[in-house]
Chain A
Amino acid sequence: MVFMGISIYPSLAPPSLFSPFASCQRDVSRRDKRKKTLRREFDYILEGRNIYMNEGYRGRIPVELLSFFRASGGHSLLIKGEAGTGKTTLALQLIEELSEEQPDYYLSTRVSDEALFRQFPWLEEKAKRNDVLKAGKAFLSKTKAPSFKGMEDYKHDSTLKVAKDLLRVLGRSDSSPMVVRSELLKLEGQIESGEIEGDGSDAMMGEVTEEGMVLDIGIMLPELELAYDMAEANLPNKTFIVMDSIDALAEHYGISPQKIMNTLQKDLVEHSGTNVAYVMETAEKNIYDYLGDGVVRLYSLHKEGRRIRELVIEKLRGLQITRWKYPFTLVDGRLRVFETDWYSMPEELETHQPVEDPSPDMVSTGNTSMDQEIGGLKKGSVVLLEIGENVPQDIVRSIEYALISNFLSKRRGVIWFPEFAINYDTLESQMRKLVSKEALNGCIRVLDSSPMEKPYEFVSVIEGGDAAQDLRLNSLRFMLARSAVEPYLSILGFDSLEAVYGTDVLPDTFTHLEAMKRSGNVVLAEATASCASLRQLSHQARIHLKLESLAGTIMLCAQKPLTPYYYLDYSACVNGIAPKLIAMV
């Protein structure tokens, strides 16, 4: 593991710091000494929300970006977006993902950011290291240095050792590989001669802070010089340099971002094989898009009161982009893109483990994660599940199975008028894996108005002429075994109901709905956007859930009450039917 690019001098970084996460653990344990507890990094960060975060979780960024930086040669990437869209988080996660292959140099123009240090504990160490390395450069100059405050701080033994190590590293022989500095020298010459104009009025230039050590004797652009030195120290290996943000750095120097990008592109990226990422504080298209090899844009949009985050890969030179748009979240301060995995019901299902009801008044959905987000289903209520365009049936089925399995595992009766046609052999084999045969045959009745080729114990044939008659609660109770207890669950697919009884079926179902509510049972109504009953059902429902496709990623949200979008993470679920819900925040 290489730390801060000084690969040939491991003594510069103690072994415990080689892995960012080892550093995290050490930092956390130091922080927690006051509380006399010792917790792992992710417990600390994710206190109280450890459903889907497990040890080693880093958040996920698009694989295209990693492939881009891993390809041979140097590459530059522009990360653009408005404030708060996750640019710095993306840059830091790129550093994390590439940390074992490419030593990095992270240049930040922030004074300090405790929130960032909490999410990326290794960052604080690196920020301190950067200051020390800058100090080392000052020692290198060997000219009169003005007395500056803070000098005493740097006379500490360990800091001097780091500076000495840097001197050894940077004072290498002429035969060592070197980065090209021609553009940097040209830029410095232009600045010196006053040729370079800033982007706007000089009077509006930002202030230069005096944080850290003053080392400017002879060094005009110390941050850039350090980046060059770090890249040079790692040759012939690649270094990953992140400039956060390029606008702030340009303002700091009083030159345009274009000048800096051109300089780094030619010297470091093209001639020295270094990877560079620039964070830019704007999302709009501009001339800078043409200067880098890749452009990624982060958006934060709003739809019906919900936040939608999108990561758009505009270009990645030399790489085929298989997927150019990703919805993503910044939950717990980590950027995670949502995949468009095509979910299909697993062939091998495991026995459903009953999920406790959230409270005496509520019943569980059969999915712990869903219960936590929406609070379960209230007894004596109607819940509407709206199925949006392009939502795979298997996803709807998984929600149904989780709910049905949980009811059956507790011997609660289930009445089901399916939204989509069912293969009863498949249903039987799947439900037998989830619940017992007795529960399947005694506690659930699937209503079907079509003649059946072979009888199934759990299927009840209905006339299909009068919905009010077919859905009479007393009749349904009679169908179920005596062992089936309340509260019952009634799942009604209204598109199918309308197909059987006509588009005006809803008033005929009111008797059933009211009877179920009065008895403290639960009704799950399902409807697509084309269902005529959808609007009225929405008024009737206490909770209105919606499955929606966002750029090919299926998301669940609640219209009533309003919730954010949730990604259904099936990769993290144990039994294959109860996905973990990850909020898009």
Chain B
Amino acid sequence: MIPRKQRLYQHTVFDWIMEDGIHREQEMSRLMADDYVGKIMSATYGKAMSIQQISRGCEIPIAVAYRRVGKMEKIGLVRCVREEEAYRGKKVRYYMCAVDALHLSFIKGRFTVQVQPISSITIPAPAKEKAEI
């Protein structure tokens, strides 16, 4: 991605052109209209979840959950906060919502998305393993 303009602090206006030429805010606005994205952001706000947990908790098919989270991570709506080794050596990534607020506006013929990222994300410590049976 080629950042044309970026401001840190409270909110950032995204006007980046993504590698495939699609405006990021176009992608953002499309995702904002997606039911699943809303569910994922709500579920992961303040809470780290794996994609399997997101799939179950938000009632989203697993493959769809992977695709959505992949796109959301790409444009910064969620962030991977940790990885754990789980079943049969596989690594499981945990995601959290990375924005506090999203404002979509249409001004003079142009959609603009204003994102208020979470200023700091506290990465939750991995839970202790349960006692063996």
Contact = CB atoms under 8 A, between A and B. Distances in A.
Interface of A: 139-146, 160, 163-164, 167, 191-194, 196, 198, 202-203, 205-210, 214, 216-221, 251-255
Contacts of A217: 50, 52-53, 86-87, 92
A220 B36 contact: no
B7 interface: no
B59 interface: yes
Contacts of A221: 62
A141 B64 contact: no
A139 B70 CA distance: 28
Given A203-B35, A216-B50, A251-B61, 20 more contacts: A141-B86, A143-B87, A143-B92, A144-B126, A144-B127, A145-B130, A163-B133, A192-B66, A202-B36, A205-B60, A208-B55, A208-B62, A216-B52, A217-B52, A217-B53, A217-B87, A218-B52, A220-B52, A254-B60, A254-B64
Interface in B45-92: 50-53, 55-56, 59-68, 70-71, 84, 86-88, 90, 92
Contacts of A163: 133
27 contacts: A141-B86, A142-B132, A143-B86, A143-B87, A164-B133, A193-B66, A194-B66, A196-B63, A198-B63, A202-B67, A205-B61, A206-B61, A208-B62, A210-B56, A210-B59, A214-B56, A216-B55, A217-B52, A217-B86, A217-B87, A218-B87, A219-B87, A221-B62, A251-B61, A252-B61, A253-B63, A254-B63
Contacts of B84: 143
A253 B87 contact: no
- The interface residues of chain A, by DSSP majority, are classed as loop
Contacts of B27: none
B129 interface: yes
Contacts of A220: 52, 62
Nearest to A259: B63
A203 B62 contact: no
B133 A160 contact: yes
B64 A218 contact: no
B86 A255 contact: no
A198 B92 contact: no
A141 B50 CA distance: 14
Contacts of B60: 205, 208, 254
Contact of B62 (A143, A167, A254): A254
Contacts of A252: 61
Contact of A216 (B53, B59, B127, B132): B53
B96 to A, nearest CB: 15
Nearest to A141: B87
A198 B60 CA distance: 13
Contact of A194 (B50, B55, B67): B67
B63 A144 contact: no
Contacts of A255: 61, 63
A111 to B, nearest CB: 14
A205 B68 CA distance: 13
Given A143-B84, A218-B92, A253 B129 contact: no
B56 A216 contact: yes
A219 B62 CA distance: 10
Contacts of A214: 53, 56
Nearest to A205: B61
- Among B35, B53, B67, B71, chain A packs the most CB atoms within 10 A around the CB of B67
Contacts of A205: 60-61, 64
Contacts of A193: 66, 70
Contacts of B34: 203
Contacts of A208: 55-56, 59-62
Contacts of A160: 133
A251 B63 CA distance: 10
Contacts of B90: 218
Nearest to A215: B52
- Among A141, A143, A167, A251, chain B packs the most CB atoms within 10 A around the CB of A143
B53 A144 contact: no
B133 to A, nearest CB: 6
Contacts of A203: 34-36
Contacts of B130: 142, 144-145
A144 B132 CA distance: 12
B108 to A, nearest CB: 30
A194 B66 CA distance: 6
Contact of B63 (A139, A141, A146, A191): A191
A480 B56 CA distance: 83
A207 B63 CA distance: 12
Contact of A143 (B65, B66, B70, B129): B129
A440 to B, nearest CB: 75
- Among B36, B92, B126, chain A packs the most CB atoms within 10 A around the CB of B92
Interface string B14-39: 00000000000000000000111000
A354 to B, nearest CB: 66
B55 A142 contact: no
A272 B40 CA distance: 38
A202 B68 CA distance: 10
B4 to A, nearest CB: 26
Nearest to B50: A217
